[in-house]
Amino acid sequence: MTSNASLHQRRMAAVPRGVGNAYAIYAERASNAEIVDVEGRRLIDFAGGIAVLNTGHCHPKVVAAVKDQLDKFTHTCFQVNPYEQYIRLAERLNDLVPGNFPKKTIFLTTGAEAVENAVKIARAYTKRAAVIAFSGAFHGRTLMGMALTGKYQPYKVGFGPFPTDVYHVPFPETGEKDGWQKSLKALETLFKADVGPENVAAIIIEPVQGEGGFNIVPFELLRALREICNKHGIVLIADEIQTGFARTGKMFAIEHSGIAPDLITMAKSLAGGFPLSAVTGKAEIMDAPAAGGLGGTYGGSPVGCAAANAVLDVMEEEKLVERANVIGKRMIERLTEMKRRNSFGNRIGDIRGLGAMVACELVTKDGTPDADLTKQVVNKAGENGLVLLSCGVNANVLRFLMPLTAPDAIIEEGFDILEKTIGQVLEASAKAA
């Protein structure tokens, strides 16, 4: 029988170390919020393939749509022979994305590609070069994506030099009252000291930082950025690659702030596990690049577009936007209860979330970030049958990204495992001390 150990040995010999693995647990099959590994062991999935599976593993309607498309054709390249699946999906996203103005959409393959193309479009439209991002941000692993990313380890180590004309503004400190005003002040200083606003093509921001630690952007900051971009003719880009498609209790997280960005980048849960990304935005901005300036051989794959159209159907039919708010409320309650009733409660720090995009920090007895405890909890959770991810600039944040289709009983079972796991790790540490 194939084992996790034998597969991992083969993986270590065949795949470079730069491709990390959260676990040496190899999937055999999966359904909704559960994975079965190659040894037949069941795991509850609180990672969702890093926010890709809001509609769960192998949703029947998504699978059926893909099978139907496979029987027709798998690829023509949209730039050679276009097809209706691409157009229909573009029309639907143009309607769903916030903003009372005409919109257009381009499809690509990865989130990083979406970010790269959003920057290209903004530069073509404004005839400017500079782009501003935020500390703690994650925007991809391509050269421009890494330049925009505001976290050095492990994403940038050894890969420079990076594209120029990229600047970073400090992200507001979590929990700091009016911290967003400090970010605005830093932006004003940047305009005076490093790059004039008339030279800035775009400001890009995640409405909730993903890799940065599930930090929610204060809505006041988003509204202020909208005003600044309006004033100076800067394109405002919302990176919704991790936050999009119902995760935060809105179809797009930016909707919570009441503003509309000029461009939105999306990927991950757009196509229920198939490689597809998109940029949607104001038609006049999207039309700025010349014919042939945008595209990609696999961009807008007919199979991916078919899956995405099915995903949008599922989200509407199963009311996953509403479901995200129900799940998020319960997660906050469970984490709060866990903190209150356990002796290790002082090791759980800030608990935060927007809809079902929820996280908690793990800290030392003194309240400082505890990356080592977080790593141990993630590893032990895998042994106990729970797939879990960490994040954060200080690597001490547990993030929860279970499918929005997960039954209540599965979610409760997952948090039972988490509670047991934290206790086991701390007990083992105490015995070893």
What the block records as the tokens of 56 is: 């769960």
- Dist CA 168 CA 162 (whole Å): 13
> Is the preceding omega at residue 102 within 30 degrees of 0, hence cis?
no
- Lay out the sheet containing 386-387: strands in order across: 27-31, 34-37, 42-45, 386-387
* Catalytically annotated residues: 138, 239, 268
Instruction: Decide if 354 contacts 402 (C-beta within 8 A).
Output: no
What's the full length of the chain, in residues? 433
Give residues with Cβ within 8 angstroms of 33, minimum separation 6. Answer: 44, 45, 56, 57, 402, 403, 405, 406, 407, 410, 411
Phi, psi of 240 (to 5 degrees): -110, 25
Give residues with Cβ within 8 angstroms of 399, minimum separation 6. Answer: 214, 357, 358, 359, 389, 390, 391
Long-range CB contact pairs, 163-166, < 8 A, 24+: 165/129, 165/130, 165/131, 165/195, 166/130, 166/131, 166/132, 166/133
Instruction: Decide if 287 contacts 104 (C-beta within 8 A).
Output: yes
- Dist CA 284 CA 104 (whole Å): 9
- Dist CA 171 CA 312 (whole Å): 32
Classify the C-alpha dihedral 22-28-29-33 as positive or negative: negative
Tell me, what DSSP letter sits at residue 155?
T
Count helices and strands in the chain by DSSP H and E runs: 13, 15
Instruction: Decide if 242 contacts 267 (C-beta within 8 A).
Output: no
- Dist CA 419 CA 334 (whole Å): 9
Instruction: Decide if 280 contacts 39 (C-beta within 8 A).
Output: no
